[in-house]
Amino acid sequence: MKLNQTKALYCKILFLSLCSLTLSCSWDRFVLSRVNESTAVKAKVAKELFDKDKITIVLTGTGSPLPSESIQNSTAIFVNGQFLLFDAGDGVAMAMEKLNLPVSEISAVFITHFHSDHFADLGEVIDRSWLLGRQKPLTVHGPKGITDLVNGFLKSYQSEYYYRTKHHGEAVMPSQWKGAKTNEFAPKSDGSSKIVYEKDGVVVHAFFVNHVPVEPAVGYKIEYKGKSIVISGDTADSEFLKKQSFGVDYLISEVMNKSMIAKVEKAYESIDHDRFRKIMKDIQLYHIDATELGNLAEEAKVKTLVLTHMIPFVKGYIQTKAIYKDPIKKVYHGDLIIAHDGKRIEIPLP
Ligand SMILES: [Zn+2]
Ligand SMILES: [Zn+2]
């Protein structure tokens, strides 16, 4: 090789090495900035949510069993430093992480009933909170059947728990905190409420709702410092729900536009699709219609009504207004919020 060629080769090698070093340094800087940024965002969100001067509701999932763009049903409530999760429908574990919620700090989970759109992701909620650093026991509260449900998840996650601790070690993944315990309760059949959770002034009551043939099915009422929030769970129009919602600050309720579902039923009938026609007919029996809900909220003097678990799922101002807002506002004069996934509601405390 001639001297000039050798020099050129050395120059090329030097140039490529410098490029690779520069690229590697810029990747290092990029990764470090992303890690710093994501850590800072998580810390900021946790600080906001655990602010004891307010209660924060996060609508973590507003969907239903019918296909939609929403995560299935779930609502998080942050109150007096506690993170309470009501229902855990499909997709909620990952949705909470995308929203930067402090998943490892979850204090308790409450399940309303045993339709899968309310518990499908419970195994993931239990597991992810532990993987992300939960160092305290987690209790899942629910009506009769909750222990069987949770034990089923724990059994199916046995290998997952074992491998995580084996790989990362007891110090990082302490087996002591894997899984969850349960608090199984029997709601009162007369519609009165029962305290199922009480901690540092935060009280959660459970009460019977009408989602026959799903029994038991419950709603929850959360109280703290004179503020009250009711979560309906799934229910038909119900005197129990009305009684429990009387004068509450927020009623977070499921809702169905039955005339729309009746049209879907009719459409399936017209194409002789008897299976879907029957399902569309049946589901109208155990959900609450938009007008029924508006009347219930008006009669119960609910201050703010929040719609979630909307059937059918619609998006866009015009459709949402026609299908939910208009029928409800015709009869209900309080505030109305039509929720979407990730919606935050803040309630200042006295
Ligand atoms: Zn449901
Ligand atoms: Zn249901």
Query: Does residue 227 lie in a domain region?
Result: yes
Instruction: Determine the distance separating the centroid of ligand 1 and the alpha carbon of 180, expressed in angstroms.
Output: 23
Q: What confidence tens digit (pLDDT) does each residue in 311-331 have?
A: 999 888 899 999 999 999 999
Split at pLDDT 50, 70, 90, the class of 193 is very high
Closest to 124 measured CA to CA, from 146, 158, 148, 153: 153
Count of domains in the chain? 1
Q: Is residue 196 part of a domain?
A: yes
Q: Which residues pair with 310 in a beta bridge?
A: 255
Tell me the sheet residues that pair with 123: none
Å from CA of 64 to ligand 2 middle? 9
Angle at alpha carbon of residue 297, lines to 292 and 298, rounded to 5°:
100
pLDDT at residue number 12: 73
Residue 28 inside a domain? The answer is no
Q: What is the per-residue pLDDT across 75-95, written as a single tens digit (0 to 9) for each?
A: 999 999 999 999 999 999 999
Residue 25 lies in a domain: no
The CATH number of whichever domain residue 322 belongs to comes to: 3.60.15.10
Ligand closest to 214 (CA) is 2
Residue 6 lies in a domain: no
| pTM of the complete model beyond 0.75 | yes
Does a structural domain hold residue 187?
yes
Q: Measuring CA to CA, how many Å separate 223 from each of 100, 117, 121, 230?
A: 25, 26, 26, 9
Tens of pLDDT, residues 273-310? 999 999 999 999 999 999 999 999 999 999 999 999 99
Cβ atoms < 10 Å from Cβ of 34: 10
Three-state secondary-structure class, residue 299: helix
Domain housing 108: 40-348
What separation in Å is there between the alpha carbon of 117 and the centre of ligand 1? 5
- Measuring CA to CA, how many Å separate 116 from each of 29, 60, 91, 214? 44, 16, 12, 12
When comparing pLDDT for 68 and 61, which is higher? 61
CA of 272 from ligand 2 middle (Å) equals 26
- pLDDT tens column, 233-252: 999 999 999 999 999 999 99
Provide the pLDDT for residue 3: 58
CA 38 to ligand 2 center in whole angstroms = 36
If you measure from the C-alpha of residue 16 to the centroid of ligand 2, how many angstroms do you get, rounded to a whole number? 62
- Residue 219 C-alpha to ligand 1 middle, in angstroms? 12
Q: Is the peptide bond before 327 cis (omega within 30 degrees of 0)?
A: no
Q: Is 7 contained in some domain? A: no
How many angstroms does the Cα of residue 323 sit away from the middle of ligand 1? 19
Q: What percent of the chain has pLDDT over 90?
A: 87
pLDDT value, residue 19: 61
In angstroms, rounded to a whole number, what is the distance separating the alpha carbons of residues 130 and 136?
Answer: 9
Distance 309 CA to ligand 1 centre (A): 7
Question: For helices 122-131 and 158-168, what crossing angle results, to 10°?
Answer: 10
Q: Is residue 154 part of a domain?
A: yes
Separation of CA 236 and ligand 2 centre (Å): 10
Which residues have their alpha-adjacent CB atom under 5 A from ion ligand 2? Answer: 115, 234
153 C-alpha to center of ligand 1: Å?
20
Residues 6 or more apart from 335 whose CB is under 8 A from it?
303, 304, 305
Shortest-distance ligand to the CA of residue 215: 2
